[in-house]
Chain A
Amino acid sequence: MNLTKWFAIGLSCTTALSVIPATQAAEYQVGAVISLTGVNARGGTGMHEGIKVAESVFNQRGGNVQIKVETINDESSPAKAVAAVERLAANKVVAITGGATSDIVGPAATAADKLGLPFMTSGGTSSEFLTQGFKSFFRINNTTGYVKAMAGLLETMQVKKLAVIYSTKKSTSEMARMMQQYMAEKGVVVTMHPFEATTVDFKPIINKIKLQDKPDAINMIGYENDYVGILRATRVLKPQVKAMVGAWQIATSKMYQDFPDLVDKTYGTEMLPVPVTFNRPEGQAFEAAFRKLYPHEPDYLSQYGFVQGMLLFEAIARAEAAGTLDKGGIAQELRSTPVDTIIGNVRFTEQGDNEEFVQNIGQHQKGNIVIVWPESASTGAMQFPGTPW
C-alpha cells in the first residue's frame, strides 16, 4: 500500500470518527444550602469545601453524568435557608445538600420535602429528624455515633467521675443528655453544666467543677467559640482533671493553628489524623483534589461534605442510568445501596439515618492530630493524663 492510500484510509477514519456523535454527559444541578456567614460559618464553610471537592472528583471521573453545584449562603438563618431551598427548586436542581446545624437542617429539610427534593446532610444530627416523616431525608452522621465514640474513650480512660459542660442548643443538649445517660449506666458519676450559646465567661462553671464536682475528666459539648472560652477558663483555674474531651469542631488543624497552646492534648471527634494520610484510592483522590482547591489541611467537616456530596452524586448517576431520576430514583438508590466511603460504611435506614456511623477520636499532640480511639483506627498512643496547661 502506497503512502497516498494510507493517507486516504487515515482521512476516512478521522472523518468517520468526527461524524459519530460523541456521548454527551448529562449535566444535573445540585443545590447546596449552607452557612457561609453568621454563627455557623465555620462548620458550613468546612462542609461546603468538601462538597466542592466531591463535585470536582465526581466530574473528573467522566461518567454519563456531570454535576454542577449551585450554592446559596443561608447566613445561618432558618428563614433564609427555606428561601434558598425554594430558589434552588425554581432553578431545577435535582437534590439539595448542606445544612450546617440542626436548627437550619429542620426548616430546610421541611421545605425540600414539600418540594419533593431529596435532602442530604451531615449537619443535622438530632434524633427528631427521624420522626418527622420526611420522604427523602438522608444524613451520614448522627448523635449516637458521637456519643459512642466519646463514651468509648472515657471508658478506656477508666473515668469514674465526669463533668459535662454543654451548650443548650438543640444538638448539643441532646448529645449531652445521651452522654449523661450512657455514662450513668456504666456507673460513672456525671454532673451536668448547661450554658447558653452567648456565654463567653466560663470561669464560674469551671470553678464549680473544680471545687465541687472534682471529676476525672471534663466533657465539652459545644462549638469552636465555646471550647476556646472553656479552655481559657481552665488555663486560669487549672482544675485537677486528667483529660479534656470535646465533641465536634475541636480536633481540627485550624484549631491548632489559631490556638496552639489552648488545645494541645485535648481530645475531640475526628476521622482524620493530621498530617492527613489516606491509604485507599478514594481518600487519596479526596486529598489530592482538596489540596488543589484549598490552601490548607482538610478536616472532618470537609471530609463529611465530600462523603455526603459523593453519595448524592453517585445516586443521581445510578438513577439517571436506571431512568428513574424523576420518579424518586435518587432516594431509592440511596436507600438500597450500601457504600464503603472514607468515613466507613454508609447504610441508610428507611428514615435516612446512617446506622453504621461511628466516630473516631483524635488528640492534639504538638501540631499533629493522632487518632487515639478506637484502637483499630489509632495512629499513635494517647497522651494520658494530659491537659493543655
Chain B
Amino acid sequence: MMKSFIKLMWFPLLLATLVPAIWHQQPYILSMFTDALTIGALALAWAMLGNLGGMVSFGHSAFFGTGAYISSMLAMNSGMPVLLSMLCGGLAAALTTLLMLPTLRLKGTYFALAILAYSQIFRVLAMQLEGITGGSAGLSGIPTLPVVMGFALNSKLGVYYVILALLTLFLLIYTVLARSDYGLALKAMHDSEAATQVVGVNSLLLKALVLLLSAFMTGLVGAFNAHHMNFLEPDYAFNASWVIVPIIAAIFGGFRSLNGPLVGALVVYLTDQLLFKVLFPTGNLMILGGLLVAIILISPRGLLPLLHSAQRRFYRAKA
C-alpha cells in the first residue's frame, strides 16, 4: 500500500519541494510552473475520461468556462468565500454534464463533435447573458485567492501550491477510481461494451459518472484560473486552447499512464515558454509542433512509456 502510494506521489512531492526551493525568489519561473500545472491538471482530467471512459472530448473548455464563471459570479455577487465558490464552480461544471447525457449514446468522433458543440453553446450563453456575465466585455476585478492561516494563497508561491494540491487530489481520485470495481468495469467496457452490458454492467451510468468527475475536475481548474487571473471573458473562458493544449500535453506525455499528462504538460509548456520562445520569440509554436510530430512518430504512446522502455532496455543490457 505504502509502496504504491509513494510510486504515485513521488512526482508531486518532488514538485512541491524542489521547485519552491530552487525558484522561490523568481516569480516568473514559479508562474511558468503554475501555468504548466494548470495545463497538467486539465490534461489529467481529459486523460481520465479517455483512458477509463473511452471517450474523446474536444469540449472540455465548456467545463473550464462554466467553473470559472460560476465561481467568479458567486464570489463577486454574493460575497461567498473564494475557496467555497471554487468548489461550487467545480460542482456547477459537473452539473452541466446532465445536459450532455444524450451525447453518451454517441461513440468516437460523434461524441467528440457533440461535446464540442456544447462548449460553443456555453460560450454564446456567456456572451448573451450580459446582465450576469458581463457579456463580451467580461468580468474584471474577480476576487483573488484568500489568506489562510497567515499564508497568502494569492502570492506566487501560494497559487503554485494551490494548483499542485488540486493536481495531487486529481491523481488520487484517478487512482482510486481506476483501482475500484467501477474502474475495472470501465476498462472492461473498452474491450467490449456489449459484453459488459450482458453481465449486468450499466455502461451508460458508468460513462456518465466518469464524465461528471472529469467535468468537476476541469471546472475546479477553471475556477482556480479565474481567481488567479482576476479576469474573465467568454472568448478566454471557453477558448479551444483549454482543451487543445492539454490534449497535446497528455498525448505527448502518455495519456494512458497516471503521471504521463503531468510530465507532458511540464515538458511541453516549459520547453515552449522557457526555451523555444527565448530562441524564437515569434516562431516558437512552429518548433513545438515539429517536436510533437516527432514524439508521435517515435513513440505513439507518449514520452513516459518511451522513457520506461528505454529504462528497461538499459537494465536488461546491464544484466
Say which one of B177-185, B198-206, B231-239 lies at the interface with A.
B231-239
Q: Find out whether the CB atom of B28 lies under 8 angstroms from the CB atom of A37.
A: no
Indicate the member of B124, B230, B241 with the most A CB atoms within 10 Å: B230
Say which one of B67-75, B134-142, B212-220 lies at the interface with A.
B134-142
Residues of B within 8 A of A77 (CB): 241
Q: Find out whether the CB atom of A168 lies under 8 angstroms from the CB atom of B31.
A: no
- With contacts A73-B277, A106-B231 taken as known, whether A126 is within 8 angstroms of B236 at the C-beta atoms is no
Residues of A within 8 A of B136 (CB): 168-170, 173
CA distance A132 to B142 in the complex (A): 11
Q: Find out whether the CB atom of B282 lies under 8 angstroms from the CB atom of A168.
A: no
CA distance A197 to B233 in the complex (A): 13
Q: State the main secondary structure of chain A at its contact with B.
A: helix
Please give the distance in Å from A200's CB to the nearest CB on chain B. 15
Q: Find out whether the CB atom of B31 lies under 8 angstroms from the CB atom of A103.
A: no
CA distance A103 to B136 in the complex (A): 10
Nearest residue in B to A91 (C-beta to C-beta)?
B28
Interface of chain B residues 130 through 173 with chain A (CB within 8 A): 135-138, 140-141, 156
Q: Find out whether the CB atom of A128 lies under 8 angstroms from the CB atom of B229.
A: no
Q: Find out whether the CB atom of B233 lies under 8 angstroms from the CB atom of A83.
A: no
Residues of B within 8 A of A73 (CB): 277, 281-282
Please give the distance in Å from A214's CB to the nearest CB on chain B. 27
Q: Find out whether the CB atom of B28 lies under 8 angstroms from the CB atom of A106.
A: no
Please give the distance in Å from A384's CB to the nearest CB on chain B. 32
- With contacts A103-B235, A110-B230 taken as known, whether A83 is within 8 angstroms of B137 at the C-beta atoms is no
Q: Find out whether the CB atom of B31 lies under 8 angstroms from the CB atom of A82.
A: yes
Interface of chain B residues 236 through 275 with chain A (CB within 8 A): 236, 241, 273
Residues of A within 8 A of B137 (CB): 126, 128, 170, 173-174
Residues of A within 8 A of B285 (CB): 37, 75
Interface of chain A residues 81 through 116 with chain B (CB within 8 A): 82-83, 86-87, 89-90, 103, 106-107, 110
Chain B interface category by residue count: 20 to 34
Residues of B within 8 A of A78 (CB): 229, 231, 236
Q: How many residues of A are counted as interface, with CB atoms below 8 angstroms from the partner's CB atoms?
A: 30
CA distance A196 to B128 in the complex (A): 11
Q: Find out whether the CB atom of B236 lies under 8 angstroms from the CB atom of A86.
A: no
Residues of A within 8 A of B124 (CB): 196
CA distance A126 to B135 in the complex (A): 14
Please give the distance in Å from A9's CB to the nearest CB on chain B. 55
Residues of A within 8 A of B28 (CB): 83, 86-87, 89-90
The reply on B32 being an interface residue by CB < 8 A is yes
Nearest residue in A to B231 (C-beta to C-beta)?
A107
Q: Find out whether the CB atom of A82 lies under 8 angstroms from the CB atom of B229.
A: yes
CA distance A80 to B235 in the complex (A): 15
The reply on A307 being an interface residue by CB < 8 A is no
Q: Find out whether the CB atom of A71 lies under 8 angstroms from the CB atom of B281.
A: yes
CA distance A36 to B138 in the complex (A): 24
Please give the distance in Å from A40's CB to the nearest CB on chain B. 12
CA distance A90 to B138 in the complex (A): 29
- With contacts A82-B229, A132-B141 taken as known, whether A90 is within 8 angstroms of B235 at the C-beta atoms is no
The reply on A321 being an interface residue by CB < 8 A is no
CA distance A106 to B142 in the complex (A): 12
Interface of chain A residues 162 through 208 with chain B (CB within 8 A): 168-170, 173-174, 196-197
Q: Find out whether the CB atom of B282 lies under 8 angstroms from the CB atom of A170.
A: no
The reply on B211 being an interface residue by CB < 8 A is no
Q: Find out whether the CB atom of A169 lies under 8 angstroms from the CB atom of B35.
A: no
CA distance A291 to B156 in the complex (A): 43
The reply on A79 being an interface residue by CB < 8 A is yes
CA distance A71 to B137 in the complex (A): 27
- With contacts A78-B236, A79-B229, A128-B140 taken as known, whether A168 is within 8 angstroms of B281 at the C-beta atoms is no
Q: Find out whether the CB atom of B27 lies under 8 angstroms from the CB atom of A106.
A: no
* 7 cross-chain CB contacts under 8 A: A36-B281, A36-B282, A73-B281, A106-B140, A128-B140, A169-B136, A173-B136
Given A103-B138, A168-B135, 11 other A-B residues pairs in contact with their CB atoms under 8 A: A36-B282, A37-B282, A83-B31, A83-B35, A83-B273, A86-B31, A106-B140, A107-B229, A169-B136, A173-B135, A173-B136
